[in-house]
Copies of this chain bind each other. A is one copy, B any other.
Amino acid sequence: KKLPSKELTYSNRGMTLEEDLNETNQFYLEQSIAVIHKKPTPVQIVQVDYPKRSAAVIKEAYFKQASTTDYNGVYKGRYLDFEAKETKNKTSFPLQNFHDHQIEHMKQVRNQNGIAFVILRFSLTDEVYLLDAKHLIEFYDQKESSRKSIRKLDIENFGFLIKIGYHPRIDYLRIIDSVYFQKES
């Protein structure tokens, strides 16, 4: 029997981008559309207690910087890899939201013919865009000599607006289909 709490969640406002994407990926999984998971938060474990007759307790640990992006998986045989970020800015997306490691990882994925992109949300207007990593990398690599953020105008031009839905909330595979699988159909 399905828990009623789950049904309620979908109509809940104020969900984070991560929650919306987890719901979306869960939908894809249940419908056998794709297998995409968020990677666990990387943690450096320092001390663990092993109490008798109960579960091990981590007593000291630290957050580590992720060496890759947050989401990856498989869709129609292809490798998909993306990072999701949101901003409260209205007219641009700050590049400081990304780390060198993540950009390097996206380059490596592209080099292996994987599909790499970012999902960017402007929180105040709830607009969500898919931007191919190729463009993000270009802006990022120019950030020392040029702008420290991507103009929303450029995201609109180079990226794709994702229509926000009910279930799934952020149907990014619709964009992936039209952009990356068009030639093959």
Contact = CB atoms under 8 A, between A and B. Distances in A.
B40 A77 contact: no
Given A68-B37, A114-B35, A61 B43 contact: yes
A75 B32 contact: no
Contacts of A40: 39-43, 64
A62 interface: yes
A6 interface: no
Contacts of A76: 112-113
A35 B60 CA distance: 31
A50 to B, nearest CB: 11
Contacts of A81: 74
B78 A77 contact: yes
A59 B62 contact: no
Interface string A68-86: 1000111111111100000
A72 B29 CA distance: 17
A179 interface: no
A105 interface: yes
Given A109-B74, A112-B35, A57 B62 contact: yes
23 contacts: A29-B108, A32-B111, A35-B108, A37-B68, A41-B45, A43-B58, A43-B61, A55-B62, A55-B63, A57-B60, A57-B62, A61-B61, A72-B72, A74-B81, A74-B112, A75-B112, A76-B112, A76-B113, A77-B79, A77-B114, A78-B78, A78-B79, A79-B79
Nearest 6 Cβ contacts at the A-B interface: A77-B113, A74-B79, A74-B114, A58-B61, A40-B42, A79-B79
Interface of A: 29, 32, 34-35, 37, 39-43, 45, 55-64, 67-68, 72-81, 105, 108-109, 111-114
